[in-house]
């Protein structure tokens, strides 16, 4: 029919039932149908889709404007899904009809099947995981059982968070190890200082490394700190222990571990081994004094406490730690006898035999005697001779400096004899540190003569004045009590333990009278009182005052008063 010149026509007759079988086959879920342009079914309708010929369905289908589409329609209480496609060639409509209930039922069946399969797989996985976890967890369980304490018991072993328990126990062990290592390092340092650990050169660095201590230093030095605590012995010991722990903590926090070994408390000292990395040993002294000054400042600032610091010589072997500790404590003890609150190195106090031998002891004794007797001219002459002699015999500035340190020590001993502290006399200045700051001989001599000596001389002048006043008062007191006896200067000297000539000189200076003049004048006053107030005979009064005779009494009285005792009585008798 479509050819230009058709030559024939074949007609085939197929029933609707056959067409329906050809289209749908054995498909029980989805059915396919064909409708012609007059809305008539070409395939044979079945009991499931007889609604295709119903007016409701045809109206719904015709209402669709598009050539292809999908819609749902409810027929006989059942929801039907319809896919359609309209052909423009022959105006046929091709339909796919699927009941929604059938699709839903199949989906539920698939869902239940899937769920069943998943459950079975999960059970299998759980069983496999349990077996494997038990196998792999067994070592962890053993670890947990080993770290669990007996106190925790079964309750601890049945804990659900074994990993947390293990970690907690590991942290405890680590803390104990760190703490014990810290104490072990401190015991190691104490043993070194006390000479209880003997270290061979071949293994000393190995021992230090095992304790996690630094070994890269070039030299070491020992700093010894002692708090200056005043008070009774029990109070002093208690405060000293408290201050030592505070100082030890302050040193730990203020000096980094790169600069020191662990600080310790040993006996009555806080001890720190300082590490030095400079290969030039000439800088050690300045470096150590700088650290000591900083520690002294921090202790004063945070603890409001004065401290003294002793410094050892640098050393390069740990085996020499005991010697260095003894050097630092020796330096500290040597100067603390005279002055507290200082920083001193062992090099500042140790003098060789040559230095000791050149110290001008004779001139020094003359100087001391002049100071005690407060003779300014003699003091000036003695100090000039002393400095000249020291300059002449010293071969180096360091030797000169050491001699002057020795002189300063002896001058401070004079201060101690006065019963006062150097701080009270010289303020907060630390004299031994001051003398080390000078770089010139003239500066040191000027400092000693202008700064050190004047306060000492002044105090001895005050002491001499007080002593002389006491001597005069003692002499007058004895005269007033024993004027009637046969008093002499020797008798009084034996009573107050001073030389008669010294008493005579002091008494004359203080009163303006000699001893004999003052005694006679006082006796005359008492004689005059007896002449005025009593009827004693002249001879009796003369005997009371130990005159050899009445004539001697009359001569002495007339020499002072200008008249005889009889004339005085006649004139003033009451």
How far is residue 467 from each of residues 122, 286, 454, 460, 517, measured CA to CA in Å? 111, 47, 20, 10, 22
Q: What pLDDT was estimated at residue 199?
A: 61
Structure-model confidence comparison of residues 210 and 248, the more confident one: 248
User: DSSP labels for 283-298?
Assistant: GHHHHHHHHHHHHHHH
Alpha-carbon distance 332 to 337, whole Å? 9
Structure-model confidence comparison of residues 175 and 559, the more confident one: 559
Choose the CATH number for 12-147 among 3.40.1840.10, 3.40.50.300, 1.10.357.140, 3.20.20.70: 3.40.1840.10
Closest CA to 288 of 321, 310, 264: 310
Strand 307-311 relative to strand 343-345, pairing: parallel
| Residue 486 token pair | 């046969």
**221 touches 276 (CB < 8 A):** yes
Q: pTM of the prediction?
A: 0.44
Among 88-92, 298-302, 559-563, which stretch is predicted with the lowest mean pLDDT? 88-92
Q: What pLDDT was estimated at residue 203?
A: 57
Q: What pLDDT was estimated at residue 272?
A: 94
Mean per-residue pLDDT, 172-184:
75
Q: What pLDDT was estimated at residue 468?
A: 65
Ranked by mean pLDDT, the top range of 53-62, 216-225, 410-419 is: 216-225
Share of the chain above pLDDT 90, in %: 7
Q: What is the DSSP letter of 260?
A: B
pLDDT category of residue 232 using cuts at 50, 70 and 90: very low
Q: What pLDDT was estimated at residue 106?
A: 64
- The set of long-range contacts for 455-458, using a CB threshold of 8 Å and a minimum separation of 24, is 455/425, 455/426, 456/371, 456/411, 456/414, 456/415, 456/425, 457/371, 457/374, 457/376, 457/379
Q: Class of 465-572 per CATH?
A: mainly alpha
Closest CA to 314 of 267, 272, 257, 275: 275
Q: What pLDDT was estimated at residue 231?
A: 45
Q: How far is CA 448 from the centre of its chain?
A: 38
**382 touches 368 (CB < 8 A):** no
Structure-model confidence comparison of residues 20 and 402, the more confident one: 402
Structure-model confidence comparison of residues 484 and 160, the more confident one: 484
Closest CA to 335 of 460, 233, 228, 442: 228
User: DSSP labels for 141-164?
Assistant: HHHHHHHS-TTTHHHHHT-S-HHH
Alpha-carbon distance 557 to 427, whole Å? 58
319-374 per-position pLDDT tens digit: 888 889 988 888 777 655 445 667 878 876 654 444 455 677 888 788 888 887 77
Mean per-residue pLDDT, 78-85:
80
Q: What is the DSSP letter of 41?
A: B
Would you call 60 exposed, middle or buried from its count of C-beta atoms within 10 A (0-12, 13-18, 19+)? middle
**79 touches 100 (CB < 8 A):** yes
Q: Report the DSSP beta bridge partners of residue 345.
A: 311
How far is residue 84 from each of residues 17, 98, 311, measured CA to CA in Å? 21, 12, 108
115-150 per-position pLDDT tens digit: 888 899 999 988 888 787 777 666 766 766 666 654
| Residue 403 token pair | 């001699």
Q: What pLDDT was estimated at residue 43?
A: 66
| Residue 11 token pair | 């007609």
Mean per-residue pLDDT, 509-532:
85
pLDDT at 234 over 50: no
Structure-model confidence comparison of residues 44 and 292, the more confident one: 292
Beta-carbon neighbour count of residue 72 at 10 Å?
11
Q: Report the DSSP beta bridge partners of residue 71.
A: 82
Mean per-residue pLDDT, 279-303:
87
Among 48-57, 303-312, 435-444, which stretch is predicted with the lowest mean pLDDT? 48-57
pLDDT category of residue 114 using cuts at 50, 70 and 90: confident
pLDDT at 47 over 60: no
Which ranges of 418-499 would DSSP assign to H, the alpha helix?
Answer: 422-426, 431-437, 441-447, 453-482, 489-496
pLDDT at 233 over 50: no
**Structural domain boundaries of the chain?**
12-147, 465-572
Structure-model confidence comparison of residues 239 and 396, the more confident one: 239
Could you give the strand order of the β-sheet that contains 307-311, starting from the edge strand earlier in sequence? 264-266, 269-276, 219-227, 307-311, 343-345
Mean pLDDT score across all residues of the chain: 77
pLDDT at 49 over 70: no
**Exposure letters 395-421 (e unless 16+ CB within 10 A, then b):** eeeebbbbbbbbbbbebbebbeeeeee
Q: What pLDDT was estimated at residue 334?
A: 63
Mean per-residue pLDDT, 498-525:
83
Mean per-residue pLDDT, 78-84:
80
């Amino acid at each position: 029919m479509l050819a230009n010149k058709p030559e024939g026509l074949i007609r085939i007759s197929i029933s609707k039932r056959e067409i329906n079988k050809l289209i749908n086959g054995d498909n029980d879920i989805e059915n396919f149908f064909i409708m012609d342009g007059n809305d008539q079914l070409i395939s044979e309708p079945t009991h499931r889709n007889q609604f295709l010929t119903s007016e409701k369905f045809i109206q719904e289908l015709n209402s669709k404007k598009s050539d292809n589409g999908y819609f749902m329609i409810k027929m006989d209480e059942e929801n039907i899904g319809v896919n359609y496609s309209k052909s423009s060639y022959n105006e046929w409509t091709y339909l796919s009809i699927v009941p929604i209930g059938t699709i839903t039922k199949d989906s539920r069946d698939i869902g239940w099947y899937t769920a069943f399969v998943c459950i079975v797989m999960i059970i299998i996985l759980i069983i496999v995981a349990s077996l494997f976890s038990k196998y792999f967890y067994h070592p962890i369980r053993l670890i947990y059982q080993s770290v669990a304490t007996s106190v925790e018991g079964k309750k601890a072993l049945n804990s659900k968070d074994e990993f947390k328990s293990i970690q907690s126990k590991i942290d405890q062990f680590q803390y104990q190890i760190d703490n014990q290592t810290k104490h072990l390092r401190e015991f190691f340092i104490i043993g070194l200082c006390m000479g209880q650990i003997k270290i061979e050169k071949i293994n000393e660095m190995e021992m230090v490394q095992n304790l996690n201590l630094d070994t890269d230093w070039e030299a070491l030095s020992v700093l010894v700190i002692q708090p200056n605590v005043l008070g009774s012995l029990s109070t002093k010991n208690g405060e000293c222990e408290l201050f030592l722990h505070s100082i030890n903590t302050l040193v730990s926090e203020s000096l980094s571990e790169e600069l020191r070994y662990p600080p310790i408390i040993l006996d009555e000292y806080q001890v720190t081994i300082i590490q030095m990395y400079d290969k030039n040993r000439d800088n050690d002294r300045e470096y150590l004094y700088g650290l000591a000054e900083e520690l002294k400042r921090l202790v004063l600032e945070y603890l409001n406490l004065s401290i003294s610091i002793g410094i050892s010589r640098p050393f390069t072997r740990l085996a020499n730690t005991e010697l260095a500790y003894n050097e630092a404590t020796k330096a500290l003890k040597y100067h603390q006898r005279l002055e507290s609150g200082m920083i001193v190195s062992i090099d500042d106090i140790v003098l060789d035999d040559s230095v000791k031998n050149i110290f001008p002891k004779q001139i020094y004794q003359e100087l001391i005697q002049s100071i005690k007797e407060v003779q300014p001219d003699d003091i000036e002459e003695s100090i000039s001779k002393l400095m000249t002699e020291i300059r002449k015999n010293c071969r180096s500035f360091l030797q000169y400096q050491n001699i002057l340190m020795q002189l300063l020590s002896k001058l401070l001993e004079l201060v101690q004899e006065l019963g006062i502290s150097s701080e009270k006399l010289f303020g907060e200045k630390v004299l031994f540190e001051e003398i080390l700051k000078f770089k010139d001989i003239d500066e040191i001599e000027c400092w000693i003569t202008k700064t050190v000596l004047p306060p000492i001389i002044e105090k001895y002048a005050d002491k001499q004045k007080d002593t002389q006043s006491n001597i005069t008062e003692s002499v007058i007191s004895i005269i007033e009590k024993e004027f009637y006896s046969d008093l002499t200067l020797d008798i009084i000297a034996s009573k107050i333990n001073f030389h008669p000539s010294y008493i005579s000189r002091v008494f004359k200076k203080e009163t303006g009278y000699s001893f004999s003049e003052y005694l006679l004048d006082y006796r005359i006053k008492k004689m005059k009182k007896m002449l005025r107030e009593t009827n004693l005979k002249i001879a009796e009064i003369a005997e009371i005052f130990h005159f050899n005779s009445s004539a001697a009494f009359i001569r002495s009285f007339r020499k002072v008063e200008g008249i005889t005792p009889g004339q005085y009585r006649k004139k003033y008798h009451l």
